[in-house]
Structures are given as C-alpha cells and as structure tokens.
Amino acid sequence: MVSDAGPAAPVLGIETSCDETAAAVVVSGRQIRSSIVSSQVDLHARFGGVVPELASRAHLELVGPVIAEALGEAATDLSDLAAVAACRGPGLAGAVLVVSGGHTLLVTMQAHGQYRVVGQTVDDAAGEAFDKVARHLGLGYPGGPAIDALARQGNPEAIHFPRAMPGEPDFSFAGLKTAVVNHVRQHPDAALADVAASFQAAVVDQLVDKLAAAADEAGAPTLVLGGGVAANSALRERVSTLAADTRRRAFLPAPALCTDNGAMIAGAAWWRWQADGPTPLTDGVDPALGLPLAG
C-alpha cells in the first residue's frame, strides 16, 4: 500500500513469518522510530518448536494491537505512512503446513537487491542445529540463547566435534548434531556447559571459516551478519576479530534486530520500493520465497 506522502515518510513493517508478531515504523529504510515484538515463545515452548496453526491464530489476535503500539510509540498516524510492508515469505503460511527450519546462507551482495548465493546448508540450518541440540540437552526452546548462555561457563575445547565440509562453501550441521547426541549418550556425566561450548565452537568455526574464504574469494570489503544466530555472542566475537584482522568492516545488527522484527521488513521494503515500486496486494504468501538473485 502506498500513499502520496513524500520520500522521507515512514514505512510500517509487519513481520509474521514465524513465531514473533512484530511491527515497526522506519524512516528512509534506516531510522527506526519504533519496533514492537510480541513473542509467541511461551505458546510454542511446550511443543519444542513452532506449531504453524497455533502461530497463525496468535498472529491474527496480536497483529492489530502490535501495529497500534508501533504507530503509537512512533507518534505516527496511519495517514502519515508512505507505505505498509508485510513479510510474504519465506516462512509459515496460515493454511499450509510448512515448517520452516530457517536458513543458513552465505551471500555476496553488490548493492541493495543484488545478491549471489555462494553457499548454503545441505541439511539443517545453524539455528535448527542450536534448537535440536538444546532440546536434546534439555535446555528448552528456542535453543540458541540457552546454549549461548550455558557455553559461557564451559570449555569450548573440552570435546572436539566435527567441522563439516572443510574447504567447501556449503554448510552441514546434521552430522554435528548427531555427534553431540552420541557423545552425551556415551558420556552421560559430561558437563553440559562443556558440551554446549564445544558444540557452539564447532558451529562458529564452520560459519566463520566459510565466511572468511568467501570474503577472500569475492574480495569483499565488508562482512554482514543477519538472522537469529547472528545474536550468538561467540559468532559475533569471531566475526569482529576476523574483520579487524583482515581490515574489513563488520556490520553486526543489535541482537534485537537479529531475531524476527518489523524493522527489517520496513528497511528491506524501503529499498525494494525504490527499485521496483509497490507489490500488488494480489500477490499472495510464498512460504519458500527466495532472494532475488543476480544473474
């Protein structure tokens, strides 16, 4: 939806692709006036993962109040908005039983909207591995923050878990998850903090090694992290160090902007809108929506 408001007018971004109902008001794709996130974590926690049908119903109930709060906090009226941006994919769709496991993608970006996928996971996404390992260790859902916290008390070199697909741009985390499960089965007395720290180190090593190789190959001057796992403290530290060591810039979004939020939708929509104009309201949800790739 687009109004006659000028280019500096605010965009309302709405995010409902998974288990957060979120809305934000963002000006010029960059200035966040408000960002409201209502998490459904408690609703899904007892199932150990997101239940799409429950998520849809909760989004319906929450989206109105969340939008009202975002507009209120930004002191913005609906009529002030330049555009409304809603996430149409990838993720869950109300009537489709697709359970998105998240993504692990290594992408080079030339400019806004110009992406090339360099590598991706051949099985589980990194966030999925965090969630599955955490569930196995009895740490609850979502697993990433719980493992991140527990790992701080553990020794990342206590157990050597495999770093899959060395020398290749693609990722694999399913074997690592199995290795953790087997280790805990064989060593029931293992200190959970050491298991968490060693598992996390294996994930971070794999991510950062491939990031470093891809950045070298592409001659990329800048490293950018995005997505829920970008909130991981060990990953953030390693990427900051890599950037400093190789004289690159690193953009690490604030942790609250790594997990699902409306500001990223409004921000991304701003650049899309400048390039392609508005999306027709007849365009439906696409649970498997991919990045627009450069040829």
Binding site for ligand KG4 (CB under 6 A): 18, 102, 127, 130-131, 142-145, 148, 227-229, 231-232, 259-260
User: Beta partners for 20?
Assistant: 39
**In the complex, what is the shortest distance from the CB of residue 263 to ligand KG4, in angstroms, rounded to a whole number?**
13
Question: Residue 27 or 196: which CB sits closer to ligand KG4?
Answer: 196
Question: Residue 194 or 260: which CB sits closer to ligand KG4?
Answer: 260
Structure-block tokens of residue 98: 């697709």
Question: Residue 13 or 228: which CB sits closer to ligand KG4?
Answer: 228
How many Å is the Cα radius of gyration of the chain? 20
**C-alpha to C-alpha distance for 239 and 233, rounded to whole angstroms:** 10
**C-alpha to C-alpha distance for 129 and 135, rounded to whole angstroms:** 10
Do the Cβ atoms of 262 and 15 come closer than 8 Å? yes
Question: Residue 172 or 259: which CB sits closer to ligand KG4?
Answer: 259
Q: How far is CA 249 from CA 29, 115, 215, in A?
A: 20, 19, 11
**C-alpha to C-alpha distance for 213 and 179, rounded to whole angstroms:** 25
User: Tokens 């400048």 map to which residue?
Assistant: 274
**In the complex, what is the shortest distance from the CB of residue 268 to ligand KG4, in angstroms, rounded to a whole number?**
13
User: Beta partners for 86?
Assistant: 14
Show the beta-strand stretches assigned E in 212-292.
Answer: 222-224, 249-251
User: Beta partners for 13?
Assistant: 24, 85
Question: Residue 10 or 127: which CB sits closer to ligand KG4?
Answer: 127
Question: Residue 83 or 125: which CB sits closer to ligand KG4?
Answer: 125
**In the complex, what is the shortest distance from the CB of residue 102 to ligand KG4, in angstroms, rounded to a whole number?**
3
**In the complex, what is the shortest distance from the CB of residue 53 to ligand KG4, in angstroms, rounded to a whole number?**
17
Question: Residue 81 or 234: which CB sits closer to ligand KG4?
Answer: 234
**C-alpha to C-alpha distance for 294 and 18, rounded to whole angstroms:** 27
**In the complex, what is the shortest distance from the CB of residue 228 to ligand KG4, in angstroms, rounded to a whole number?**
2
Question: Residue 10 or 253: which CB sits closer to ligand KG4?
Answer: 253
Q: Which helix (H) or strand (E) holds 126?
A: helix 126-136
230 Cα distance to chain centroid: 7
**In the complex, what is the shortest distance from the CB of residue 87 to ligand KG4, in angstroms, rounded to a whole number?**
10
**In the complex, what is the shortest distance from the CB of residue 264 to ligand KG4, in angstroms, rounded to a whole number?**
9
**In the complex, what is the shortest distance from the CB of residue 130 to ligand KG4, in angstroms, rounded to a whole number?**
4
DSSP per position, 64-124: HHHHHHHHHHTT--GGG-SEEEE--SSS-BTTB--------EEEEEEETTEEEEEEEBSSS
